[in-house]
Each structure stands twice: as C-alpha cells, then as structure tokens.
Structure 1
C-alpha cells in the first residue's frame, strides 16, 4: 500500500481549492451574525442572537454548516446545529442537519444563484416525537442573509417558527 494514501496532505499556505460544484453558492461562505425572533402556537415568542458559519472542505463538493443561538439578555446558549449542504448542477440541493435537541433533518430543495435564494423542504425529520415537517428559506437581500423556518407538528399545520437577519462578519 502506498504510504501517502493514509497520510494527511502536506500543510500549505494557500487556501483550500473551492470545488467547482460550490461556485454557485459561494456567496454563503463565511460567518454571518445577527438577531432573530421565534414563536409557535404552543410557545411564547422570543428573541435570540445567532451565528451561522458556512465553510467548504478542500476539493469536496460539500459545504459544512454550523449554527448557534444565544439569549440576547445573558449570552446563555440556546440551540446549536450542524450539517452539510450538497448543491447539484441542476440547481437542486441536499441538506442534512443534526440539532442539539437530537432531532435530525434530511432536506431537499432548490437554489437560485442569480436571486441568491435557497428553498428547503424536509424529506425526513428523524428522532422527533412531535415535529412532522420543517421548511427553511434563505435569501441574501442587500448583503444580509435573511431566513425563515416554518414547522408542522402532528397536531398543528405548517406555521412560522423562526426568522432572522444576519450580516457577514
């Protein structure tokens, strides 16, 4: 066996190459921070601080995604999730997200590079006793990343749940 196969790549001072499949969503790459609002028919409304981070793996057709939220008043952590986004050449996208609550989402959707819009719809919501469906919509407007999340449970139809406006830092 070639010893170089299992060895890590040598350190390089140049940034990792962006896989060509990610060029259409390169506008997402980086760290975004801002504030959001949440609510649902079964909970009180709330506000939160949030940070999203999108990065790419060297020469791989996937975007790594991490998210964390905190209480604005105290900075206390509220929620976190992470996953991977896989854009396809036909403007479709596959996304997997694992939440700190134990819930896992497998989503599919579409994206528009010219409009900087991504629409996601849950295919599977795993390990969820109540959540039946999740939809996420992202759009860059005037340099801000704006998103909203809708959610349905087994007893409540699809309703607004979260929305935020984030600036690239």
Structure 2
C-alpha cells in the first residue's frame, strides 16, 4: 500500500490529464474566470459584486465547477456554489449545483458549441422555501464569459436576478 508522498500516490495535476472526449465541446469553459457583476430582484436592493469561477477536469467525463462572490467595497464574501457539468449522449447538458445557502439545483439545457452558448433551466430546486425556478445563460468568447441568471419565487414570476462579465485569468 502506497503512502501519501511516495511515488505514484499523488495524481498528476489536472492540467496534464487528457481531456475526456465526452466533455470536449465544453473545453472553452476550462480555467479561471474573474470579473464583476450586478444583481437585483423585485424583493431586494440592487447590488454589485466581484466574482470568480473555476472550471476544471480530472480526465473523467465531467467538469467540476466552483464559484465565489464578494462585496466590491469590502472584499467580504457573499455567495459560493460548486457542482458538476456534463454532456449527455443526446447532446444536452446537465448541471448539478450546491449553493452555500443550502439550496441545490439540477439544471438541464442545451449547448450551442458554434456560438459557445449554454442555456440551462432548473429541473429541480431543492431545500428552498421560496425559490421555484432558476435559469442561466452563459456566452463565451476566447477571453470573456458572460452570464445572466433569472429566478422565480413563490411571490414573483421569472425575473432577472444576476448578470456578470468575467475574463479568463
């Protein structure tokens, strides 16, 4: 039995692992993205925030995802979430996200690989007393990733909630 630190016991860094062919169409997401966004909702005051997203892979047919936001003025942490993205054999995309608030999402949607656009709609929002639906749209270029988030609650219909522009770092 190998012990930590012995040759062969530590997996190689993610960057040297071969990309699984099943996630090749999502390769444009891989890496670290950072920037600023703004949010609002009919039931809350508008706000601005800093954000970082990180998409990575381990050689498996899935992309790991982490996100964190902070107040621009103070650097104080605001929100965090993590999860997994995968392409299904029918070409659709499935995303599982756990938020720091305890809310969990299963989202399904589509990928337009030519335009690097991903559209997601919640199939399940769990552990949420008020949130009923979440939709996300991501658009990427070589150096920029933008997104919008819409949300519906028990007291609102689907409304814009978040939007951000991030740059690859």
TM-score scaled by structure 1?
A: 0.91
Q: Tell me the C-alpha RMSD between the 2 structures.
A: 1.8
1:125/1:12 CA distance change after superposition, 3 Å: closer
Point out the more displaced range, 83-92 or 155-164: 83-92
Q: Deviations over 1:115-162 (max 9, x none)?
A: 000000000000000000000000014631000000000110000000
**Cα distance in 1, alignment partners of residues 103 and 116 from structure 2:** 27
Match of 1:61 in 2: 61
Match of 2:90 in 1: 90
Match of 2:24 in 1: 23
Please state whether the residue corresponding to 1:155 is helix, strand or coil.
Answer: coil
User: How many aligned residue pairs are there?
Assistant: 163
Q: Give 1:89 shift.
A: 4.0
1:103/1:41 CA distance change after superposition, 3 Å: same
**Cα distance in 2, alignment partners of residues 28 and 71 from structure 1:** 24
1:117 has 2:117 as partner: yes
**Cα distance in 2, alignment partners of residues 134 and 35 from structure 1:** 20
Runs of 4+ in 1 over 4 A off after TM superposition: 8-14
Q: Deviations over 1:83-141 (max 9, x none)?
A: 00011243200110000000000010000111000000000000000000000000014
Gaps in structure 1 of 5+ consecutive residues: none
Match of 1:161 in 2: 161
1:62/1:113 CA distance change after superposition, 3 Å: same
Point out the more displaced range, 140-149 or 108-117: 140-149
Match of 1:128 in 2: 128
1:78/1:116 CA distance change after superposition, 3 Å: same
TM-score scaled by structure 2?
A: 0.91
**Cα distance in 1, alignment partners of residues 9 and 110 from structure 2:** 34
Match of 1:137 in 2: 137
Please state whether the residue corresponding to 1:105 is helix, strand or coil.
Answer: strand
CA contact (8 A) 1:91 1:112 kept: no
CA contact (8 A) 2:117 2:138 kept: yes
Q: Deviations over 1:54-89 (max 9, x none)?
A: 00122x100000000000001110000000001124
